[in-house]
Amino acid sequence: MPRYKLIIEYDGTPFCGWQYQDNGPSVQGALEDAVMAMTGSRVRVHGAGRTDAGVHALGQVAHIDLEKTYRADRVRDALNAHVRPHPIGVLSAEIVPDTFEARFSALKRHYIYRISNRRANLALDAGRAWRVARPLDVAAMNEAAQVLIGKHDFTTFRDTECQAKSPDKTLDQLDVIRDGDTVNIVTSARSFLHSQVRSMVGSLVWVGHGRWTAADMRKALDARNRAACGPVAPPDGLYLVKVDY
């Protein structure tokens, strides 16, 4: 059974998340329906990251095992044809060794969170960025972000329903960068806890508003207590950018 690696982009707005659920449409479910329409067989689509409801992807990675060999470009084009009208695009497909696992072979995952720091309502970016009307001190945010770099117990920034066995994660990058009215929060790690990025972003916005300092961020991290976290940012601005192997 040949294994195919897929790179996928999607608008997460209409989905309950990547993972198949009974309470609404999922990206995984839509792709599995497309594979079924293409091959006539029900095949599991394994993703590299289980993005939450409303979270987007520019470079999600998945793998599928098919019963027969197809040209990679045919797999890409057929899946794109059958996944319509869902806002999902299969950017590429390639045959890979059966030792490749989209989730477990991943070495690093890269996310970006987009904040629109302006008074005006969002027109083109509605549902694709978080509008924060009050001015943000990006320098203070970036200073506080560096407190979180390295290996820590991230219980404070972990959803209470997170199923990870350990709250310990190593954060490789967390940079806050302004580009005009847009504030991008760029982060990378081998893996993240449930809602970790959105929890960190919400706390950084408190820093940007002067409610917290870098020292307060350190206290929150050291508390190892979910109650010490700032607000959780909405999913609108979060994108899985790429996955390294």
Predicted pLDDT at 65: 97
Is 128 within 8 Å of 237 (Cβ atoms)? Answer: yes
d(CA 42, CA 52) in angstroms, rounded, equals 24
pLDDT at res. 132: 98
The single residue of 22, 52, 175, 222 carrying the catalytic annotation is 52
pLDDT at residue 239, rounded to an integer: 98
pLDDT of residue 111: 98
Instruction: Round to whole Å and give the CA distance between 125 and 68.
Output: 41
Clarify whether 52 is annotated catalytic.
yes
Q: What is the dihedral of CA 132, 135, 138, 140, to 10 degrees?
A: -110
Q: Per residue of the chain (245 residues), give pLDDT as tens.
A: 899 999 999 999 999 999 988 889 999 999 999 999 999 999 999 999 999 999 999 999 999 999 999 999 999 999 999 999 999 999 999 999 999 999 999 999 999 999 999 999 999 999 999 999 999 999 999 999 999 999 999 999 999 989 899 999 999 999 999 999 999 999 999 999 999 999 999 999 999 999 999 999 999 999 999 999 999 999 999 999 999 99
List, in sequence order, every beta strand (DSSP E) within the chain: 3-10, 46-47, 56-65, 88-96, 108-116, 130-131, 150-153, 168-179, 182-189, 238-244
